[in-house]
Amino acid sequence: MRLEQLEAFLAVAEAGSFQGAAKVCGITQSTVSRQIQALETELNADLFRRCARVKLTVAGEALLPRAKRMCQDWRLATQEIADLMAGKQPELCIAAIHSVCSHLLPPVLQRFCQAYPQVQLRVTALGSDRSLKVLRDGLVDIAIVMENPRLAPSTDMAVTPLYEEPVEVLMAADHPLARFSAVPWADLARYSQVMFKDGYGMQRLVQEQFDQSGGTLKTALELNTLDAFRGVVRQGELVALLPQSALIESLQDPTLVVRPTEAPVLTRQVVVVTTQDRLKIPPIQDFCALVQAQSRQFLPTERVTERVAAPFPVEALAGQAR
């Protein structure tokens, strides 16, 4: 059963003749006849009584409402897909790690909203693992996360590096480690750590570093917000290893200090991820391009090292509304 057969059936039913249906459909009468015959053969039932004015049979009456719904659903589906590929979508959902939500995304969101006022943005702060899961489950369109082993090469994922930054030590201003200009890993291992919760890439990254250095990671507390990290660390001898972009507010706080580590300097890379099929949709493509462009300016301090790829057409930024 093909769509053109159903359309021919509906045209004959409405016009009351094969000739009238041919005019409506813009095809020959013989083509209409062949389509109806093929449909009747597939259904093993006559759909029309051929007389002076063609009339529906009992089988034709049964098919009529369903044929109308199928053709209407097809027209709606084709229109929705056309609108989607033309950049007309009701919302855009993003999952991103906390530091990205706080510092990288705000100017991007403002520019995108100006270019796509009809698209409602939904941004959720999640850990890297959870962000990738909701992307794969189709619950969000874009994930901005730490690069990690769960981002194994995949033909259906588009992964682009944004920037790379060092991981540094956050501590109270009067902490014993504050005397170091760069904290040795052996001294750092003497103090208990405040960590991101399981499922956050930072926990895995820090644990791997301690395993490689032969030290023991002492985890005293797990948190998932930057405000909570600052609040806990300023109270005593707990320290936290955090990426540089998560420490911007801490640099302005006189009760806290930030120190780099001695070599090896631990770094993390932030990437933007979406699926290949989503990347063909203009608002998603433009949002990724905006994020990539903003990351070139995203230098929390001069120690941040930038690494940028260019699969997104930056020249087609959302400033050029479609």
The reported pLDDT for the residue numbered 65 is 94
The reported pLDDT for the residue numbered 203 is 85
Asked if residue 322 belongs to a domain, the reply is: no
Query: Average pLDDT, stretch 306-317?
Result: 39
The reported pLDDT for the residue numbered 296 is 86
Report d(CA 46, CA 289) in Å as an integer.
Answer: 57
Residue 140: strand pairing partners: none
Asked if residue 308 belongs to a domain, the reply is: no
**Which residue's entry shows tokens 């981002």?**
151
**Per residue in 140-190, pLDDT tens?**
999 999 987 666 667 788 999 999 999 999 999 999 999 999 999 999 999
Asked if the model's pLDDT at residue 302 lies above 70, the reply is no
Asked if residue 309 belongs to a domain, the reply is: no
Burial class (CB in 10 A: 0-12, 13-18, 19+), 226: buried
Picking from 85, 107, 128, the residue at the C-terminal end of a domain is 85
With beta carbons less than 8 A apart as the criterion, state whether 126 and 95 touch: yes
Q: Judge if pTM exceeds 0.85.
A: no
Number of folded domains that form the chain: 3
83 compared with 97, residue with greater pLDDT: 97
Same-domain pairing of 105 and 152: yes
83 compared with 272, residue with greater pLDDT: 272
Residue 310's pLDDT band (cuts 50, 70, 90) = very low
| Residue 122 CB partners (closer than 8 Å, separation 6+) | 91, 92, 93, 94, 140
DSSP 303: T
Same-domain pairing of 256 and 119: no
CATH assignment at residue 219: 3.40.190.290
The reported pLDDT for the residue numbered 153 is 63
With beta carbons less than 8 A apart as the criterion, state whether 36 and 5 touch: yes
The answer to whether the peptide bond before residue 264 is cis (omega within 30 degrees of 0) is: yes
Same-domain pairing of 69 and 203: no
Asked if residue 72 belongs to a domain, the reply is: yes
R_g of the chain computed on alpha carbons: 30
Same-domain pairing of 131 and 278: yes
Cα separations in angstroms, 191 against 236, 239, 256: 11, 7, 16
Same-domain pairing of 147 and 296: yes
Asked if residue 114 belongs to a domain, the reply is: yes
Asked if residue 121 belongs to a domain, the reply is: yes
Same-domain pairing of 138 and 281: yes
Query: Average pLDDT, stretch 118-132?
Result: 92
Q: Which of 64, 73, 22 is nearest to 43 (CA)?
A: 64
Cα separations in angstroms, 298 against 19, 75, 292, 311: 68, 45, 10, 19
Burial class (CB in 10 A: 0-12, 13-18, 19+), 304: middle
The reported pLDDT for the residue numbered 150 is 65
Task: List, as one string, the DSSP characters of 133-175.
Answer: HHHHTTS-SEEEEE--GGG---TTEEEEEEEEEEEEEEEETT-
Percent of the chain with pLDDT over 90: 58
The overall average pLDDT reported for the chain is 86
Within a 13 Å sphere around the CA of 210, how many CA atoms are in the beta-carbon half? 19
Count, residues in the chain:
322
Same-domain pairing of 168 and 263: yes
Tell me the two tokens of residue 195: 């960590």
Residue 299's pLDDT band (cuts 50, 70, 90) = low
Report d(CA 98, CA 87) in Å as an integer.
Answer: 28
**Per residue in 186-216, pLDDT tens?**
999 999 999 988 778 888 889 888 888 878 8
Query: Average pLDDT, stretch 60-80?
Result: 89
Report d(CA 175, CA 44) in Å as an integer.
Answer: 86
The reported pLDDT for the residue numbered 305 is 37
Write phi, then psi, for 124 (nearest 5 degrees): -125, 130
Report d(CA 271, CA 308) in Å as an integer.
Answer: 9
Q: Which domain holds residue 169?
A: 164-267
Same-domain pairing of 137 and 278: yes
Asked if the model's pLDDT at residue 316 lies above 70, the reply is no
Asked if the model's pLDDT at residue 320 lies above 80, the reply is no
Picking from 85, 119, 149, the residue at the C-terminal end of a domain is 85
- Of 144-148, 234-238, 239-243, 303-307, give the lowest mean pLDDT range: 303-307
Percent of the chain with pLDDT over 70: 90
Tell me the two tokens of residue 174: 């009067």
The reported pLDDT for the residue numbered 211 is 86
Q: How far is CA 63 from the centre of its chain?
A: 42
Same-domain pairing of 262 and 283: no
Q: Is the dihedral of CA 97, 102, 103, 108 positive or negative?
A: positive
Q: Is the dihedral of CA 250, 256, 262, 264 positive or negative?
A: negative
The reported pLDDT for the residue numbered 151 is 67
Query: Average pLDDT, stretch 284-312?
Result: 67
**Per residue in 9-66, pLDDT tens?**
999 999 988 989 899 888 999 998 999 999 999 999 999 998 878 899 999 999 999 9
Asked if residue 29 belongs to a domain, the reply is: yes
Tell me the two tokens of residue 248: 């911007």
Residue 260's pLDDT band (cuts 50, 70, 90) = very high
Tell me the two tokens of residue 244: 């540089």
